[in-house]
Every structure is written in structure tokens, then in C-alpha cells.
Amino acid sequence: MKVQQLSIFMENRAGRLAEIMQLLGDAGVNIRALSLADTSDFGILRLIVNDVDKALQVLRESGHTVSLTDVVAVEVPDHPGGLASVLNPLCQAGVNVEYMYAFVEKATDKAVVIFRFEDIEAALGVLAKAGISVLPAETVYTL
């Protein structure tokens, strides 16, 4: 139920994001979801792609600092209070969300949100117990 996310270190310089996108595009890697965290000096680009191994290889070969992080893709009801209904059980169980971002596309009538948890196992347990749908990795990569 875990999805592998690529995290890439970037300096805050003009053209940096475009370079990485070009690199992945040339390698035929398709981006499923992305988020960019930034500070005054640097940023962290987080990507869910269709071909994790390929993306990792081209990024490393071109000298980027990349790491793989396990995240969880959760189906969230697409109506007011939908996200809250997912977060509430997590909150009650004391599971911490490090960061999250929404998926670009929708597979069903539900939205997909990527969660990075402090304790992924505990989070998965809570979500299963609350009957919240978690998408398998294969589904996510091919969305």
C-alpha cells in the first residue's frame, strides 16, 4: 500500500525546475503528481512518476541528490468535509502528517491525496480501521 515518491534537492535558481522536467521528459518518464517545498535558499521537489526506477537512474546519472520516500495515496471523498473525514481518525490516533499534496488527476469520483506520515505503519493501520481507501502503488503510477 506504500507508494514510492522521489524527493529531489534543488537550489533556488532560475531554470532549475525546467532542467529536471526536461531530463525526465527526455527519458519518457511521466509525472503523476508533484509538490514543491521551498525555503529562501533551497527547495525539495517531490514527485510521483510512472517509472520510479527510470527516473531515479536519470536523475542520479545527472548528479542530482535524490531519495526515495514511502508515502500513502489516499482516496478522499470529493465533497465539503471530505479531507476532514480522512484526517480526523488520524488525528485521534495521534498520527502525524509531515506533509501532503493533492493528485492532479482523478480516477474516480474521489480525489487522491498523497500523505507523508511520520509513522507510516501506524497511519496505514488507522486508515484501514476507519475504512478509508488507500490506493495500491501500481494503480497510482498508472493513474
Contacts to another protein by CB under 8 A: 5, 7, 9-11, 37, 39, 41-42, 44, 46, 63-67, 69, 98-99, 116
| Nearer residue to another protein within complex by CB, 32 or 116 | 116
Phi, psi of 31, rounded to the nearest 5 degrees: -90, 125
Q: Please report the sign of the dihedral spanned by the C-alpha atoms of residue 83, residue 88, residue 93, residue 94.
A: positive
| Nearer residue to another protein within complex by CB, 11 or 109 | 11
Kindly give, in sequence order, each residue whose CB lies less than 8 Å from that of residue 112, ignoring residues fewer than 6 positions away. Answer: 33, 73, 74, 75, 76, 102, 103, 105, 106, 135, 140, 143
| Nearer residue to another protein within complex by CB, 37 or 104 | 37
Question: Please, what is the minimum distance in Å from the beta carbon of residue 64 to another protein?
Answer: 7
Question: Please, what is the minimum distance in Å from the beta carbon of residue 26 to another protein?
Answer: 19
Question: Please, what is the minimum distance in Å from the beta carbon of residue 112 to another protein?
Answer: 19
| Nearer residue to another protein within complex by CB, 54 or 110 | 54
In 56-126, where do the E strands start and end?
Answer: 66-77, 97-102, 110-117
CB count in 10 Å sphere of residue 59:
21
Question: Please, what is the minimum distance in Å from the beta carbon of residue 44 to another protein?
Answer: 6
